[in-house]
Amino acid sequence: MHIPDGYLGPATCAVMYAAMLPIWTAAAKIVKKRLKAKQAPLLAIGAAFSFVIMMFNVPIPGGSTGHAVGGVLAAIILGPWAACIAITVALVIQALLFGDGGITAIGANCFNMAFVLPFIGYYIYRLAGSGSQVGSGRRVIAAGIGAYLGINIAALCAGVEFGLQPLFHHTTNGLALYCPYGLKATVTAMLGGHLLIFGWIEAIVTASVIKYLQKKFPEMLYEEGAA
């Protein structure tokens, strides 16, 4: 899901940056209004939390391990707008300081992982869990469904971004300049992996953490959607 530099053409990169600009502005305004002066340390800690979630390897059946992105989890505990900023900061640090993920692709990466993933996942969680108690089992299932659908829709977006490259960027004799595969191949590849493996890891981790929070620290869930 993490798009490196060179996969997307300059026009796509520019469009994705342009698409994220109003989202970042709105997120900054909303979070500033709701979290007031305490926003900076909470957001910094939230961003660091988003960064390190990926370091938790989860055992999956068959003896292997995988890791979650944690976008929907961050949205459920921080609120979608604050999660958007936290994940953006984590992605920028990852690209700039650790050389992972692209600098020119930050707009696209943020669109998929800091906007689509937390927002879709969070609102599906709210919809599926509406009318239920914060500590109910339905909320746990709703978190799992939200995480599963959120990451799959984000993967679909990444697949579409990849698949559009041969259409937008090619030479006069049809030579693909960036990602060389069309929509059919990229969407199948991105969705295949996420529908079968990564989506389940994301769902299991998100649901398990929400269940644990319900049991041990229920007060943390009462503040959901604060930002």
**21 is a contact residue toward other proteins (CB under 8 A):** no
Q: What is the 3-state secondary structure (H, E, C) of 86-148?
A: HHHHHHHHHHHHCCCCCCCCHHHHHHHHHHHHHHHHHHHHHHHCCCCCCCCHHHHHHHHHHHH
Q: How is residue 34 written in tokens?
A: 């709701």
- Residue 101, phi then psi, degrees to nearest 5: 85, 155
Residue 149 C-beta: closest distance to other proteins, Å: 20
Question: Nearest approach, Cβ of 195 to other proteins (angstroms)?
Answer: 19
Looking at 125, 178, 198, 200, which residue binds other proteins (CB under 8 A)? 178
Among 21, 188, 212, 218, binds other proteins (CB under 8 A): 212
19 binds other proteins (CB under 8 A): no
**Residue 134 binds other proteins (CB under 8 A):** no
Q: Which residue has the tokens 């953006």?
A: 88
Q: 76 or 124, CB closer to other proteins?
A: 76
**Which DSSP helix (H) or strand (E) runs through 61?**
none
Nearer to other proteins, 140 or 156 (CB): 140
Applying CB under 8 A, which of residues 21, 26, 96, 167 lies at the interface with other proteins?
A: 96
Q: Which two tokens stand for residue 203?
A: 């769902």
42 binds other proteins (CB under 8 A): yes
